[in-house]
Amino acid sequence: MLIAVGGLFALIGGLAWFTDLDVAGMVIYAVGGGFGLWVAVRGGMAGVRIDEKGITERGLGRSRAVGWCSIRAVAPADQGAGPLETVFTELVLTDGTTRPLQVVASYFPRAAEADLHVITTAHAAHRATCQTCTT
């Protein structure tokens, strides 16, 4: 969805170069088009990447990486109420803090359970083979 919205803004910004606008209009369309292009590119990269080092969460404005050894547990979490309740995966770090993975949040519990299962399985596989992790 973000790719489509960003692409639309980028397209509108790009088409402004072919119209008869003053300088201020051109600047406004160029800024809007640049913003749309940024949203389309970052929206396409949003999500969670799981590899042998840990989890990298990419959102629209930032990326965060968490190593497997700094994760104590993986747990389900939710926010909101009623039909607007979202379920997501939350990382419990070794220092006791929690870090929600909200880019994989879902209104559908089964989708959130599948994400939780994948992350829990990868974390358990790392813990079983890592020599430096503490339990």
* Tokens coding 123: 């974390």
For the chain, domain boundaries: 2-45, 47-129
- pLDDT of 71 over the 70 cut: yes
Residues 6 or more apart whose Cβ sits within 8 Å of residue 38? 6
Residues 6 or more apart whose Cβ sits within 8 Å of residue 125? none
Supply the pTM of this predicted model: 0.69
- pLDDT of 134 over the 70 cut: no
Which amino acid, one-letter code, is at 95?
A: D
> Looking at the domain 47-129, which fold is it?
PH-domain like (2.30.29)
pLDDT of residue 5: 82
Residues 74-91 have pLDDT tens digits of: 988 888 777 777 888 889
Residues 19-61 have pLDDT tens digits of: 777 888 888 888 888 888 888 888 888 888 898 889 998 888 8
Specify whether the CB–CB gap between 101 and 90 falls below 8 A. Answer: yes
